Amino acid sequence: MTKHASVNEQTVADLEKALRHISGIIKQKGREILSDYAITPPQFVALQWLWENGDLTIGELSNKMYLACSTTTDLVDRMEKNQLVIRVKDPKDRRVVRIHLLEEGERIIEEVIHKRQNYLKDILVHFKDDEVILLEKSLIKLQQEMREE
């Protein structure tokens, strides 16, 4: 891999700080949006993983959320009780139980993400079109580079 840019330490520090603050603002805004729903932030994260990846086992979901299996089991129990998810046996291996997103869970995820996107859209009105395009390309590239690490 060739290096294209030599970035000074102050720029790296400024970028890290900006990304950390943006992440915090998005997390806070997300919690405000979630207050209209009967789910907790960890339940939202779990529902989001299921929405993006399809059915997952408790172990797979635990790994994605960086939680102990017992914590994830409790989380899934509460979501199942609220009819957001259901446990289903894997048709290929009856010993494997997967967590399946139900219609209500999907509805909540879609509504919350839509509200989060509207929030971002309202912020981006202060940007020029070319700034939005550059920001999108830069963030996607940063995300790809981080995934490859």
User: Domain containing 129 — which CATH number?
Assistant: 1.10.10.10
pLDDT in tens, 25-73: 998 998 999 999 999 999 999 999 999 999 999 999 999 999 999 999 9
Q: Is residue 3 part of a domain?
A: no
Q: Is residue 137 part of a domain?
A: yes
CB 46 within 8 A of CB 55: no
Question: What's the pLDDT at 59?
Answer: 96
What's the token pair of residue 78? 């509460």
Q: Is residue 4 part of a domain?
A: no
What is the extent of the structural domain holding 33? Answer: 9-148
Our count of domains for the chain comes to 1
Q: Is residue 140 part of a domain?
A: yes
pLDDT in tens, 102-148: 999 999 999 999 999 999 999 999 999 999 999 999 999 999 999 99
Output the pTM of the full model.
0.83
Q: Is residue 1 part of a domain?
A: no
In angstroms, the CA 71 to CA 27 distance is 21
Question: What's the pLDDT at 3?
Answer: 60
